[in-house]
Structure 1
Amino acid sequence: MNGGLVVDDGFIYEEEKHLTVHKTCLFFANDGFTVYDCKGELVFRVDSYGPETRDQCELVLMDPHGRCLLTVRRKRPSLHHRWEGYLGEGTDGNKPIFSVRRSSIVGRCSVTVEVYGNPGEEYQIEGSFANRSCTIFNAGKESMAEIRRKVDASTNVVLGKDVFSLCLKPGFDGAFAMGLVLILDQINGDDYVGDAVEGHPAIDE
């Protein structure tokens, strides 16, 4: 199975990779996301994810050393919550490498991801990000990554939605997957009360 390179080949793994994503409060500057591997090592971070950044509708994904891997930006105007991803920091003068849009503006829907290039690729994200239960599928309907609720191994208790798991299948670009997580968070938000896509139920509370 090979999802191909989209952002950075340093985050493509030969074996299935489980990451833990921590989402921090959005009301203060320098908040955002931190992502760790199973050994507790920092893999990704998103800083300055406060109100000013949200107003700009632009987020930057960084590696543990602060190197800018990917910038995601909302395209306006857009009825389908279209977002675009750019390599590195900033979008001025750069061409997007992928775009993300909701497949419908009403009712139950999935999210479509189009990766530009030769050849291009398309992915579908189905499920409910609000419930931390969704899957990224490639065009062949293979699961390439999953977002799940995190369970504390010692107590078997399901943790809150600010801590969740990102499971990467072998060959799928982890930086690309985390960029999609940032966009899903913006599209849905914690106040989004959408049902899971039919055939892909959300995890019960």
Structure 2
Amino acid sequence: MKTYGAIVEEGFVYRRETHLTVRKTSLFFVGDGFAAYDSNGRLVFRVDSYGPDSRDSTKLVLMDAVGRCILTVRRKRPSLHQQWDGFAGERTGKKPLFNVRRSSIIGQSSMVVEVYRNAGEEYQIEGSFGCRKCTIFNAKREVVAEIRRKVDAYSNVVLGKDVFQLSLKPGFDGAFAMGLILILDQIYGSNYEHYD
């Protein structure tokens, strides 16, 4: 098993390939929140935000199943490249664990993720989050995680874009991957209907 190591928290680094089902927790407001479940239907992660102004949030908190804050992502302002920082826990005054930025300010483009804890460690996110079809690569261009539309196992029907799958390769940090989903949703979430 290749291990990449914890970026956010060791407890969310899985030994086997893991598939989480991620769903938006509200259909009333775009970006209200997320819940992620393991293959046994147990809650693993949640993000709660409320109200019609939640899309304008510059700070989001990822919690575990019991409500403990494990990661905070915050938008850097001003920023032409939509830059976001990720912080351990809920303190944002210290040095961030990682930074995410669009590689281009024009059109659909890839995202560059720089991890500060491990000097020089970078990831690339390619694809369309709006279509729920993204791949996360490490610096060696190895796939470490994927975001895909969820297919119902019984009816073989593709579910709506509010329910999708996060596939994690062995040894990749699931909390880090969920933090990236929060950022992608803030950057591209309101435009997802344009990428059908």
Q: Same fold (TM over 0.5)?
A: yes
Q: Which moved more, 1:51-60 or 1:99-108?
A: 51-60
Please list the CA deviations of residues 158-194 of structure 1 after superposition, one character each: whole Å capped at 9, or x if unmatched. Answer: 0000000000000000000000000000111141477
The question of whether the paired residues in 2 share the 8 Å contact of 1:137 and 1:145 is answered with yes
- Structure 1: gaps (5+ residues): 196-204
Change (3 A) 1:41 1:192: closer
Match of 1:15 in 2: 16
C-alpha separation in 1, matches of 2:35 and 2:96? 24
Deviation of 1:52 after TM superposition, in Å, equals 4.5
Structure 1 SS opposite 2:95: coil
Q: Which residue of 2 aligns with 1:74?
A: 75
Which of structure 1's runs of 4+ aligned residues deviate more than 4 A?
192-195
1:27 Cα offset (Å): 4.7
CA distance 1:26–1:57, shift in 2 (3 Å): farther
- Counterpart of 1:132? 132
In the alignment, structure 1 residue 166 sits paired with structure 2 residue 166: yes
Identity, % of aligned positions = 68
1:109: which partner in 2? 109
SS at match of 1:104: coil
1:25 aligns with 2:30: no
SS at match of 2:22: strand
What secondary structure is seen at the aligned counterpart in 1 of 2:155?
Answer: coil
> Could you list the runs of 5+ residues in structure 2 that have no partner in the other structure?
none
Counterpart CA distance in 2 for 1:105 and 1:144 is 25
TM-score (norm 1): 0.88
Q: Hey, what does 2:94 align to over in structure 1?
A: 94
Letter in 1 for 2:111: V
Deviations along 1:53-92, one digit per CA (max 9) or x if unpaired, are: 443311000000110000001100000000110000141x
Asked if 1 retains the 8 angstrom alpha-carbon contact of 2:32 and 2:54, the reply is: no
Q: Deviations over 1:29-67 (max 9, x none)?
A: x94101000000000000125445443311000000110
CA distance in 2, matches of 1:119, 1:106: 28
Letter in 1 for 2:45: F
Tell me, yes or no, if the aligned pair for 2:131 and 2:192 is still in contact at 8 Å: no
What's the counterpart of residue 153 of structure 1?
Answer: 153
- Match of 1:200? none
TM-score, normalised to structure 2's length?
0.92
Matched letter for residue 124 of structure 2: Q
Tell me if structure 2 keeps the 8 A contact 1:26–1:32: no
Count of aligned residue pairs for this structure pair: 195
Distance in 1, Cα, partners of 2:120 & 2:27: 34
Is the contact between residue 32 and residue 55 of structure 2 (CA under 8 Å) also seen in structure 1?
no
Verify the 8 A CA contact 1:26 1:51 in the aligned structure 2. no
Superposition RMSD on alpha carbons, in Å?
Answer: 2.0
In structure 2, what is the Cα distance between the partners aligned to 1:90 and 1:52?
A: 23
CA deviation string 1:123-149 (max 9, x = no partner):
000000000001000000000000000
In 2, distance between residues paired with 1:84 and 1:107? 22
Distance in 2 of aligned mates of 1:49 and 1:113:
28
Contact 2:81 2:101 in 1 (8 A): yes
Mapped to 2, the partners of 1:49 and 1:90 lie a distance apart of: 21
